[in-house]
Amino acid sequence: MQPEADSEHLLVYPDRDSADEVADELAAVAYEHGYAEVRVVREALAGEDDSEDHEWAVYVRVPRRSEGEDAVVAGRLAALAEQHGGWYDPQP
């Protein structure tokens, strides 16, 4: 039986400073929370064709866990996105 793919999460922000701040915060606790990858990316959202309109996002990859544990991770990341003036994309 093949292991399930990692879960992917995206926290989206209107500016790079916010995305960088959150990425730094997540990187500092990556080992403790089991985050396999944390990085800042430029995110082209649906309907945006001008690169200056693209938002900044923090991409987080987490090894799959139980459904309950995945929900806790998603809730933690959604709360963090909101705390910093962004929003959480549950299916990037």
- pTM of the predicted model as reported, rounded to 2 decimal places: 0.83
The two three-digit tokens of residue 11, written as one number: 């926290």
Which distant-in-sequence residues (6+ apart) come within 8 Å of 74 by Cβ?
A: 7, 9, 88, 90
Placement of tokens 């866990």 in the chain: 65
Among the listed residues 2, 8, 4, the one whose alpha carbon sits nearest the alpha carbon of residue 73: 8
Q: What are phi and psi of 71, to 5 degrees?
A: -65, -35
d(CA 64, CA 52): 34
**Domains of the chain and any CATH numbers:** 7-89 (3.30.70.3450)
Per-residue pLDDT of the chain (92 residues; tens, 9 = 90+): 445 688 899 999 999 999 999 999 999 999 998 899 999 999 765 555 555 667 899 999 999 877 788 889 999 999 999 999 999 998 77
